[in-house]
Chain A
């Protein structure tokens, strides 16, 4: 019997892991960068790295089902004659008709309305589906100005000037030709079937001084009635928030890199911008330094999944959060019931992100008339409303345990961090210590 040296276990590189290798092969075969939807998928410091302390001897809790815990929030009280009043501090983020199907937009409007919150248009204009089914609708003012018109501006409940988004701060949009149906093409004044590039910056203003004049124009057109939001991608949240306030915004929206997009380059999504957790404290600090915290409201989005995330964001000083990806999942996006069809597309339920291809088995990110029939707007809207209700109840549960009779009374002092990174980003102590990295010279 011959002796064989013990073999070493085959070892794959941590640097050149399976995903990386597949991407190199794909790039070599196709000569084009990978385009996909959704937000950053890499592991990032997030709300999971924070914990609430709850009440103890030094403070007492509120009774879970007996004592009131307010969830309402008013947005736009700085300048607008008609601020938006929401029953819950969770709004639906901007997602375009074009990127999403008509029934999906309707479902978002129905779900938001049932829940007493707002939904938002996207890069593609306002549709009757969403205006008709959304009690409170935020109309996005985007660089492309697709479908922009004064009538829709006036029948909106608020206006959101979009400077950037978390998935791609500094990047424009792309809606590839396969999703450009007759209706989408007409709304965007472009030929059917061609790729539609949404510009990365506004065509008629650059910089904060111009933005101030642009906001003045929008206010004048709408007779100072509508709250005006300014949305930025999570890049330089301190300065962007301060400049938005200076430019006259009623509400600042900061979108972290986990925030989704309809389609952009994978390299952009995963490598540009900051995690949501890292954006919040600088944005709140900017408002506090200007004496505008709670006067100009702050909305944060990107990776909000449950009531704990909502409560943590509010504790850090945010006025409301926005959800996009999670709302789509509530409608039925990436549902395992379509697993066989996801497999045919070379993916699996939970990982499907080729939204730009327009072949979504769930009928949400498509313009295919047959696929979009799979979304029942009434039932899907109900699911979204259920989900929003659960998130709200979860956030209230935590707030009561911390002794707060309003979600907005949560504060950083209620939080600790599990990791040094999260402690530094959120500006709360590492659990079990009084150490906040970066504070007091350490």
Chain B
């Protein structure tokens, strides 16, 4: 089921938190107090107004709709919840996510999905620099463009960009896979264009489907990844850095 629609499937009225009336601490504590199997599966956060750390460390499979834009680290370390930001997100949205999904309807600032271990992060607008930095298994789908130094030291997982990528994409990349539909300003150290084989087309199509992307074919993308020449230190490679 596409992540973007999950939040609309709750069978009862959502539990509403208005950050104009209640504190961030109360919101996160209430989310952390959820027991496994709780019936409070739908949550709505009003008036985030750029608050930092909205819905961080959630570890139950609930749906959280955030009505407005958020500051830093929204959904940080998310484990299993489905968060939808109906606005834009500040730096580090979905940082270190373990599982679940986060969808940002607007744009995302720097380090979106940084060090994420799993789950799906969808940015329906653009993402800024260092998107997917040090990613460790997360899947990230950006409908728009991404900024410079994205996927820096990316270890594993998939970064899909429907638009363009800025400079030094995939610098010092390890085993993450990067799929870019538009142009790439430049590739970083040890990052190269790679052949798009059948298994990559399948993988990418699955990611596009999970992210609710329609009307775009996986064959329109190019794949980038590690040349693996910098995996073990060699003095003759010193000029590459």
Contacts and interface: CB of A to CB of B under 8 A. Distances in A.
Contact of B114 (A190, A203, A223): A203
B58 to A, nearest CB: 9
Contacts of A32: 233, 235
Contact of B231 (A145, A194, A213): A194
Contact of B56 (A144, A203, A217): A217
A190 to B, nearest CB: 6
Given A176-B233, A221-B57, A204 B133 contact: yes
Given A145-B115, A148-B96, A149-B96, A221 B71 contact: no
B111 A203 contact: yes
A197 interface: yes
Contact of A204 (B29, B32, B111, B235): B111
Given A32-B235, A220-B28, A223-B28, A189 B156 contact: yes
A173 to B, nearest CB: 13
19 contacts: A144-B134, A148-B115, A149-B96, A149-B117, A150-B79, A151-B79, A176-B232, A189-B117, A191-B175, A194-B174, A194-B231, A197-B172, A203-B111, A203-B130, A214-B72, A220-B28, A221-B28, A221-B76, A221-B77
Interface string B139-167: 00000000000001101100000000000
Contact of B134 (A145, A151, A177, A213): A145
A195 interface: yes
A60 interface: no
B16 to A, nearest CB: 19
Of A30, A194, A204, the most chain B CB neighbours within 10 A belong to A204
Of A145, A189, A193, the most chain B CB neighbours within 10 A belong to A189
Contacts of B175: 190-191
Interface string A174-186: 0011000000000
Interface string B223-238: 0000000011101100
Interface of B: 24-25, 28-29, 32, 52-53, 56-57, 59, 71-73, 76-77, 79, 91-92, 95-96, 98, 110-111, 114-115, 117, 130, 133-134, 136-137, 152-153, 155-156, 172, 174-175, 231-233, 235-236
A115 interface: no
Contacts of B72: 210, 213-214, 217
A222 B235 contact: no
B119 to A, nearest CB: 12
B154 to A, nearest CB: 10
A286 B165 CA distance: 44
Interface string A126-159: 0000000000000000001100111101000000
Closest 7 CB pairs of A and B: A221-B57, A194-B231, A204-B92, A145-B115, A204-B114, A204-B111, A150-B77
A204 B95 CA distance: 8
Given A199-B134, A203-B130, A204-B91, A217 B155 contact: no
A220 B25 contact: yes
Contacts of B76: 217, 221
Interface of A: 30-32, 144-145, 148-151, 153, 176-177, 188-191, 193-195, 197, 199, 203-205, 210, 213-214, 216-217, 220-224
A361 B31 CA distance: 50
B98 A149 contact: yes
Given A150-B98, A153-B77, A217-B73, A195 B91 contact: no
B134 A203 contact: yes
A75 to B, nearest CB: 23
Of A199, A220, A224, the most chain B CB neighbours within 10 A belong to A220
B115 A203 contact: yes
B55 to A, nearest CB: 9
Contacts of A214: 72-73
A145 B136 contact: yes
A150 B57 contact: yes
Consensus secondary structure, chain B interface: loop
A191 B230 CA distance: 13
Nearest to B32: A223
A190 B155 contact: yes
Contacts of B77: 149-150, 153, 221
Contacts of A144: 134
Contacts of A149: 77, 96, 98, 117
A197 B153 contact: yes
A148 B91 CA distance: 19
B241 to A, nearest CB: 10
Contacts of B117: 149, 189
B73 A223 contact: no
Of B29, B59, B115, the most chain A CB neighbours within 10 A belong to B115
Contacts of A177: 231-232
Nearest to B71: A213
Given A150-B79, A189-B156, A213 B136 contact: no
A438 to B, nearest CB: 41
Contacts of A205: 91-92
A195 B114 CA distance: 21
B136 A189 contact: yes
Contacts of A195: 231-233
A354 to B, nearest CB: 15
Contacts of B115: 145, 148, 203-204
Contacts of A220: 24-25, 28, 53, 56-57
A223 B114 CA distance: 22
Of A32, A150, A153, A194, the most chain B CB neighbours within 10 A belong to A150
A197 B233 CA distance: 10
Contact of A190 (B172, B174, B236): B174
A193 B231 CA distance: 9
A206 to B, nearest CB: 9
A203 B233 CA distance: 22
A145 B136 CA distance: 9
A214 B55 CA distance: 14
A210 B111 CA distance: 13
Contacts of A190: 155, 174-175
Contacts of B59: 150
